[in-house]
Amino acid sequence: MKNIAYYEGRTSLIDEMMIPANDRAFYFGDGIYEAATVYNHKIFALDDHLDRMFNSAAIVNIKLPYTREEYAAILKDLVKQVDHEIQFLYWQVSRASAPRGHAFPGDAKPTLYVYSKPLEKVEMKDDYHLISVPDTRYFHCNCKTLNLIVNVMAADQAKSCGCQEVVFIRDGLVTEGSHSNIHIIKEGKLITHPLDNLILPGTERKHILRYCDQLGIPYEERAFSLDELKAADEIVISSTSQPFMRAISVDGQPAGGKDPEICEKIRSCYWAEVADLYE
């Protein structure tokens, strides 16, 4: 198939999939989601994504009906049916399909929606441009829910300014981007916001820290200011489909771009793991 969609046991092409209007994802954004890259019909870092999925479900009190192994089996089967070497895999679990009402329905049965489509390439660019915006989101950013309107509005603001991503600022400190984690490198050390309720625990963030351990690169998990970001040797943006992007400007001023060697070392660890999926 050229792409595939799945909803509660039914499969079709993405554009042909029908989902009930009573699904609470439609009414309230009442659900959680994950996204992963697929190489050679193998899902990259699937265990990490399932860990985060089950954690998100626990935070919002969605009682997942399947085991990790059952979810993994569904996802692995679906990506094998798409005729493309590299894919973008997305899945979400809503609380239920039930008549609209704010309180959780008593007989809630979570629904699973999945799609996978061809992805031309995974990007690692060196020319990202950023703008800083106030972080007006709520206090559960560590949960990967469907409630992303502030992120969407911020991403569109960045696009209208000719930038690729925003830098959310809360109480004077950098939290993350609209769809990514943000890190800095200063004097050979990587600095990243600690895991708390203000940022998403990104899977690529986790891998970057693991790569630093492998390479002997020191790192520190602490909040940093916008001024620190602008004065950093490197500004790194990480997400599933863009695992390690380098920024070269913030708010229209040049920034970063001073330590490409350390960046290439970390990137090489990612590509080495991708190569393992072809063996």
pLDDT by residue (tens digit) across 133-181?
999 999 999 999 999 999 999 999 999 999 999 999 999 999 999 999 9
Task: Give the CB-side neighbour count of residue 270, counting CA atoms within 13 A.
Answer: 26
Confidence label for 13 from pLDDT (cuts 50, 70 and 90)? very high
At residue 279, the pLDDT reads 87
Mean pLDDT of 220-247: 98
Percentage of residues of the chain with pLDDT beyond 70:
100
At residue 107, the pLDDT reads 87
CB atoms near residue 83 (< 10 Å): 11
Burial class for 123, CB neighbours closer than 10 Å (0-12, 13-18, 19+): middle
Sheet holding 31-39, edge to edge: 10-12, 4-7, 111-118, 86-94, 31-39, 42-43
User: In this predicted model, what pLDDT tens digit does every residue of 86-142 receive, in sequence order?
Assistant: 999 999 999 999 999 999 999 889 999 999 999 999 989 999 999 999 999 999 999
This prediction's pTM? 0.95
Facing residues of 234 across strands? 185
**Helix axes of 203-215 and 46-59: crossing angle, nearest 10 degrees:** 130
User: In this predicted model, what pLDDT tens digit does every residue of 26-80 receive, in sequence order?
Assistant: 999 999 999 999 999 999 999 999 999 999 999 999 999 999 999 999 999 999 9
Say yes or no to pLDDT of 84 above 90. yes
**Tokens linked to 224:** 């940093």
**Tokens linked to 11:** 């499969």
Bridge-based pairing of strands 42-43 and 4-7 is: unpaired
Structure-token match 């870092």, residue found: 45
At residue 43, the pLDDT reads 98
Residue 128 DSSP label: E
Confidence label for 252 from pLDDT (cuts 50, 70 and 90)? very high
Confidence label for 18 from pLDDT (cuts 50, 70 and 90)? very high
Residues classed as catalytic? 144
Taking CA atoms, 187 is separated from 108, 129, 136, 268, in Å, by 52, 22, 31, 20
Sign of CA dihedral 180, 186, 188, 192: negative
